[in-house]
Amino acid sequence: MYEFEVKNNQLNGNLARDIAEFFQNNESQITHRSVLEWGEHCTECAIPQCYSTCDFYSPRSDGKCQRFLNGLKRYAVRNSFYGYVNEFTFKKWGKFWSPGNVRLFSTEKANKIEKLNFQVSSLIQILPFANVKISGSSVTGVFQNRRRNWSLNNTKFQDEQAPDYFMLEVYNPNSFSVDLTLEIRPNGEKSHMPYLKLLKTEGFKRFQIPFSEIHDIVDTTKPFGINITPNLQTENVTLYFGAMEFVCNKHSAEGKVDKPKKIKVVVWDLDNTLWDGILVEDGPENLKLKENVFSIIEELDNRGILLSIASKNNPSEAVEVLEKFKLNDYFLFPQISWEPKSQSIKKIVKRLNIGIDTVAFIDDSSFERAEVFEVCPEVMCIDAIKYQEILSYPEFILPKTADSAKRREFYKNQITREEIQSDFSGDYFSFLKNCSIKLQIKEFSENHLERIHELTQRTNQMNFSGNRYTKERLKEMLNDSELICIVLDCSDKFGSYGTVGFSVIQKSDIRMIDLMFSCRIQAKRVEHALFTYLLNLYKKDGAKVFRVNYRKTERNAPSGKVFDDFSFITESEVDGIFQLSYDLSREVPDDGVLKVAGFRL
């Protein structure tokens, strides 16, 4: 909601159709949202002294400083987030500010609160006594204070539903880009690192910033403020704003969105994080391992969460200390150098072949965390003072399985494979054949439940449907006579990969409705071997066509190339899901790289 009682210039006007269309058809996707109290403020605010000392002071009807030229213009726009869109022209130093509030209301209740605020604001604006003093404040000021207190008193408690993301809709009609800075800062903690996000606007943008990304830096259960500031190169720049709220969308309300994002890798700093002291200043003999850090490392490893290091230190000296503390074997691809830590994290992500949004970074330095966050905003940055809390974070709670306890071993085997491959003189296919890779296809059973649940929650890059199955749903699938569910195990001469895949085939029309693999077997032709096996099997049984449902994303597109390699045909595409088919009268490709053993479907 906004300060409609002050200089509300135009109510229910007509917004140009081409602009209005950008803001439409969004409200239906939102089930719950916050009700923030937005007002115009100044980046150089020093009230009340600045009212008499600042050359840019321009009084509003309530005596406060006007930082929006001619106030706001409100346009009715059907099917938009609020039911209206606001036009603002920012003067020098102008910005939005709102007290923080992430308590969620149903959209119906939030709309009623908005409507009441608008009705009272409009009444105050036309009252002849709007600026009559009541106990030193005008009627307008009293209403503003009550509205602000309402907002502050609705701060979310920890046991309530969390938003999915902060949504900001903005249209920039100018011929040049306008950068906005989103700043979320704890009240009264100027030294505490705020959440900062640079948002570039050209034309229409709908920003959806994950709430977990914000809450990792700012404790939203305590009072905080939100600023949205244009980084203007010129004065009097006009922008149009729609949604400016914390929201919960329909898909997450139905349980279709995996939240919170599960962490696959924890990257540790060393000095004053893993141990007390600074190596280059205090010397290795004076360093002491942090309290409980060894047991935390062990537990993360048992959960299947990988560990690495990003530290500015001399590599050989740091490794000696890690060996002294018997921790060196736990860390994969440690990056110990003097380069920026964001670059170290990118190298770790590349070597482990995981998504950067599944990485957590622990460091005692607010500067280092800010540098990583600026370059890699997807990374979960954690202050080292909270290291003993991380085992209880929902992002770190994963099911324990036989495979998870061996995950570090799987990756160490992969390091050995890569080293041997680099020395191999033949081509890549010859190398793969030389590895003696075996794919075992098994029938899904109760024994696989924990591992398959873990796989469905973790897999992104080689997930052909995007589905995230609950344990309850997997149990139902075990007893569904219409479905064939198969589990894929893989090994080679270097060791076992464990259970690496899961697939679901619908019997009625011979259609693969789900397929997912662990990224451990990416680029090893496992998916090709699976399709060769299945296509030949159904061909022998006399089937005419084998179909696949494939939801193509940027993340799974490299793996989805298997459908091009087999020349699957696209029959149709609905809501991003491609219906693919393979004519079984054709010869089935077989590169002969893997040996496959399977049960009779």
Rounded Cα–Cα distance for residues 295 and 511 (Å): 47
Give Cα separations from 195 to 348, 463, 510 (angstroms).
25, 32, 50
Contacts of 580 (CB under 8 A, 6+ apart): 547, 548, 549, 550, 563, 568, 569, 570, 571
Between CA 75 and CA 85 the distance in angstroms is 5
Tokens of 495: 């060791």
- Contact between 519 and 462 under an 8 Å Cβ cutoff? The reply is yes
Side by side, which strands form the sheet with 265-268?
A: 335-337, 306-312, 265-268, 359-363, 380-383
Residue 425: other Cβ atoms inside 10 A: 6
Q: Which residue has the tokens 């929006």?
A: 68
Indicate if the pLDDT at residue 11 is higher than 80: no
pLDDT given for residue 259 in this prediction: 46
Q: Give the pLDDT band of residue 528 (cuts 50, 70, 90).
A: very high
**pLDDT at position 234:** 66
- Least confident segment among 39-48, 233-242, 362-371: 39-48
Residue 308: in which H helix or E strand, if any?
A: strand 306-312
Would you say 292 and 388 are in contact if contact means Cβ atoms under 8 Å apart? Answer: yes
Query: Per-residue pLDDT averaged across 460-488, rounded?
Result: 85
- Pairwise CA distance, residues 571 & 420, whole Å: 42
**Average pLDDT value for residue range 4-20:** 64
Mean local confidence (pLDDT), 79-84: 85
In sequence order, the β-bridge partners of residue 595 are 438
Q: Classify each residue of 103-140 as buried b or exposed e, where b means 16 or more C-beta atoms within 10 Å of its C-beta.
A: bbeebeebbeebeebbeebeebbeeeebeeeeeeebbb
* C-alpha triplet 513, 518, 520: angle, nearest 5°: 150
Tell me the average pLDDT across 519-548.
Answer: 89
Is the pLDDT score of 258 beyond 90?
no
Backbone φ and ψ for 425, nearest 5 degrees, come out as -90, -15
Tell me the backbone φ, ψ of residue 496, rounded to 5 degrees: -90, 145
Residue 582, pLDDT score? 95
Q: What is the torsional sign of CA 540, 545, 551, 554?
A: positive
Question: Hunting for tokens 């200390």 — which residue is that?
Answer: 321
Instruction: Quote the CA–CA distance of 584 and 415 in Å, as a whole number.
Output: 39
What is the three-class DSSP state of 53? helix
Could you give the 3-state DSSP secondary structure of residue 509?
coil
Structural fold of domain 421-598: Aminopeptidase (3.40.630)
- The pLDDT of residue 542 is 92
**Average pLDDT of the residues in 57-71:** 71
Report residue 417's pLDDT band, with 50, 70 and 90 as the boundaries. low
Contact 458, 264 (CB under 8 A): yes
What pLDDT, on the 0 to 100 scale, is given for residue 142?
47
Q: What percentage of the chain has pLDDT greater than the value 70?
A: 78
Query: CA 59 to CA 564: how far, in whole Å?
Result: 66
User: Rounded distance, CA 290 to CA 108, Å?
Assistant: 50
Tell me the range of 68-82, 256-270, 439-453 where mean pLDDT is highest: 439-453
Cα–Cα distances in Å, from 601 out to 233, 443, 478, 534, 535?
Answer: 66, 8, 14, 9, 12
pLDDT higher than threshold 90 for residue 55: no
Mean predicted confidence (pLDDT) in 368-375:
84
Q: Which two tokens stand for residue 516?
A: 């997912």
Above 50 in pLDDT, residue 15? yes
Specify the range with the lowest mean pLDDT, choosing from 209-213, 353-357, 415-419: 415-419
Q: What pLDDT sits at residue 420?
A: 59
> Do 463 and 516 meet the contact criterion of CB atoms below 8 Å apart?
yes
pLDDT for position 157: 43
Among 95-109, 134-148, 170-184, 474-488, the range scoring the smallest mean pLDDT is 134-148
The whole-chain average pLDDT of the chain stands at: 81
* pLDDT given for residue 461 in this prediction: 59
73 or 490: whose pLDDT is higher? 490
Q: What is the pLDDT of residues 135-177, one digit of tens each?
A: 445 545 544 555 455 554 555 444 457 888 999 999 999 888 8
For range 27-46, the mean pLDDT: 78
Q: Is the pLDDT of residue 251 over 60?
A: no
524's tokens? 């090893």
Q: Which residues contact 260 (CB under 8 A, 6 or more apart)?
A: 212, 394, 395
Quote the CA–CA distance of 265 and 458 in Å, as a whole number.
12
Residue 577 in contact with residue 421, Cβ under 8 Å? Answer: no
Listed by start position, the domains of the chain span 8-253, 265-396, 421-598
pLDDT reported for residue 441? 92
Report residue 471 as tokens: 């344990």
Q: What is the pLDDT of residue 53?
A: 66
Fold of 265-396: Rossmann fold (3.40.50)
Close Cβ partners of 476 (under 8 Å, ≥ 6 residues apart): none
Whether residue 598 is predicted with pLDDT greater than 50 in this model: the reply is: yes
What does the pLDDT read at residue 111?
Answer: 82
In contact, 104 and 157? CB cutoff 8 Å? no
Q: What pLDDT was estimated at residue 137?
A: 53
Instruction: State how far the alpha carbon of 139 is from the alpha carbons of 113, 280, 290, 395, 445, in Å.
Output: 20, 63, 57, 47, 69
Comparing 265-396 with 421-598, is the CATH topology the same? Answer: no
Please name which of 318, 313, 299, 291 lies closest in space to residue 368, comparing C-alpha atoms: 313
Residue 479 CB partners (closer than 8 Å, separation 6+): none
Q: What torsion do the CA atoms of 404, 407, 408, 409 make, to the nearest 10 degrees?
A: 120
Indicate if the pLDDT at residue 34 is higher than 80: yes
**Helix-then-strand count for the chain, H and E:** 18, 30
pLDDT tens figures, 490-521: 888 877 888 889 999 999 899 999 998 887 77
Asked if pLDDT for residue 54 goes beyond 60, the answer is yes
Residues 175-219: tens digit of each pLDDT: 888 889 899 988 865 546 788 888 888 889 999 898 888 887 888
Residue pair 7/66 in contact (Cβ under 8 Å)? The answer is yes
